Amino acid sequence: MKKQYVVLTMIFLASTFLFQNCSPSGVQFEQTRELASVTEPEVVSSEVVVDNEAEAEEAAPEIKTKTFTAASKEKAVDMVWVIDNSASMTAGADIIRKNFEAFAHLVENQVDLRVALISKKDAFNLKTHVSLPETMKNGQQVDFMVHSYNPLLVAAAATCPETATDAFCKKILGNSKYDKVYSSLNDFFRPQAQKVFVFVTDDDSAANANTTVQYEAANSNGYVATIKSLTINEDYITAATFKDRMVRAFGKNGSYKVFGFIAAADSKCRARESAAYSSLISYSGGVAFNVCDKDWSKNFSQLSEKVVDYASTEYSLQSENVKKGSFC
């Protein structure tokens, strides 16, 4: 009897233990652990979990600098060409006459372009005459005899105000041979436009003891030559003087680029190496082309691309919590 009781007791205890492990409290425990593992990041992590990038930026603001390039609405360019009319520029003037109109219209189709041309229309006996194409409705020509040594001075003088305020403009205003060019482009430049200067010469803006000068004769012979010595700020200017005039004309933050069909040290047709122009081109980020090249087609194409690119302005923006899509 005792054995039966012991056996029954053992069976009862074993059954009780077995069913206890399958009780609701055991199932809830496993579920509790499972839920804890799912929600664990919310409890132990200091990071905020977000669904997208925009919310992430909002949750963690920081100072960012965004630099981007945006073409101005106007895409305006004011371009000044100064072309040397001296006797050695026959080939260069001929290339300009044949290609200038096509080049200008190529740029004009992409930007709001104004063109000013400083060069002599009727230097026929020298064969260096250049005229602004009649189709250039937004252009103007300053009909002035440009010598090999003074294109830089002529361009600077054209930007002077009617009433001279600085030493350079006062000196040029007092020199009657520059009456036609002085202040001739004072109203040409637009405040919002990028400024471009293109010089075409096989010489330099510097002193030379023996310089040939073409001047308009009183008779029907057209332009004749004489020899003279050059004087600074009367016949030519330095690159530094040109830079100073640009600051006075367009402000300290004013932007301009200089390009040139000029003479390099190894140019075979050169009168002199165009050192002053090379300096300005390098300083302003322009491009120099060899005036002695027989084919300028690639040069015109590159120049048009550079001018159109220059119509774009780069801005730098600092802001807290800059978001994608913030700029329009």
CA nearest neighbour of 261 among 283, 248, 278? 278
Tell me the pTM: 0.73
Centre a 10 Å sphere on the Cβ of residue 322 and count the other Cβ atoms it contains.
16
Q: What is the pLDDT of residues 155-164, one digit of tens each?
A: 999 999 999 9
Q: What is the pLDDT of residues 267-278, one digit of tens each?
A: 989 888 999 999
Range name among 55-59, 93-97, 98-102, 113-117 with the lowest pLDDT average: 55-59
Distance CA 116, CA 217 (A): 26
Residue 50 banded pLDDT, cuts 50, 70, 90: very low
Q: What is the pLDDT of residue 138?
A: 85
Distance CA 287, CA 249 (A): 22
Most confident of 28-42, 53-67, 299-313: 299-313
Higher pLDDT, 312 or 133: 133
pLDDT tops 80 at residue 295? yes
CA nearest neighbour of 86 among 144, 118, 128, 121? 128
Distance CA 111, CA 78 (A): 10
Range name among 169-173, 213-217, 218-222, 305-309 with the lowest pLDDT average: 218-222
Residue 216 banded pLDDT, cuts 50, 70, 90: confident
Distance CA 161, CA 91 (A): 34
CB 203 within 8 A of CB 84: yes
Residue 221 banded pLDDT, cuts 50, 70, 90: low
CA nearest neighbour of 96 among 279, 257, 289, 269? 289
Q: What is the pLDDT of residue 36?
A: 36
Q: What angle (nearest 5°) sits at the alpha carbon of residue 198, between those of residues 193 and 201? A: 165
Higher pLDDT, 188 or 316: 188
Distance CA 84, CA 105 (A): 22
Mean pLDDT of 198-225: 80
Residue 207 banded pLDDT, cuts 50, 70, 90: confident
pLDDT tops 80 at residue 235? yes
Tell me the CB-side half-sphere exposure of residue 83, using CA atoms within 13 A.
Answer: 30
Residue 189 banded pLDDT, cuts 50, 70, 90: very high
Burial degree of 191 (CB within 10 A; 0-12, 13-18, 19+): exposed
Mean pLDDT of 64-77: 57
Q: What is the pLDDT of residues 3-46, one digit of tens each?
A: 444 444 454 444 444 444 443 433 332 333 333 333 333 334 33
As a whole number of Å, the CA-based R_g of the chain is 38
Q: What is the mean pLDDT of the chain?
A: 79
Q: What is the pLDDT of residue 255?
A: 85
Distance CA 280, CA 265 (A): 16
Mean pLDDT of 246-271: 92
pLDDT tops 50 at residue 200? yes
